[in-house]
A = this chain, B = another copy of it.
């Protein structure tokens, strides 16, 4: 069971052929953290709180949101293999957003007091972490480009293509998609109607089914 866990840790840090991690490295990483379970709706950490740990999501989905002064705004939604909380941790600043478990979540918690010495002792781990962080950065930059000069239909199509599971289902309410893309629920509804008319998707209660991925891609 432990080795399976280590294999998963290795995978979570990106391509396995790049900078292969030695068993000792993995063991050290495993030692430095602990596995935690979170019930749906509970918070891994909250916006503004002192950043004392980073988390690697092992199972389930976590939603990152920011309340600010206005309406809550969803910064992103991450699943298995994502590292969260590390930005605030390394920058020695409070958490920038809140992380809430959407379903049952299993995560690997890395305490800052243990993590920093660990990375100093294992440069390979530090580099791997660096690559993972830059990966995230690149993804975010792509998102910026996707957001600019795109209609709601295009954005929705792209999101559905990303978010669909192997059965082609997306379990998101229209309101959630709206805040995720920063638009209104009505616009999402209109966009979905358009996609439905072109036989690309079908809609249901809190569920969207992708019928034709090619047709969907044509909209993006």
Contact = CB atoms under 8 A, between A and B. Distances in A.
A90 B148 contact: no
A193 interface: no
Contacts of A96: 138, 141
Cβ-closest 10 pairs across A and B: A148-B182, A126-B126, A123-B123, A137-B137, A130-B130, A87-B134, A120-B123, A140-B140, A90-B131, A133-B133
A133 B127 CA distance: 12
The complex is assembled from copies of this chain, and their number is: 2
A50 interface: no
Contacts of A119: 123, 126-127
Contacts of A86: 134
Interface string A82-95: 00001100111000
22 contacts: A18-B92, A73-B145, A75-B141, A87-B134, A90-B127, A91-B131, A91-B135, A91-B138, A116-B127, A119-B127, A123-B126, A126-B126, A130-B130, A133-B133, A133-B134, A133-B137, A137-B140, A140-B140, A140-B141, A147-B147, A148-B182, A149-B182
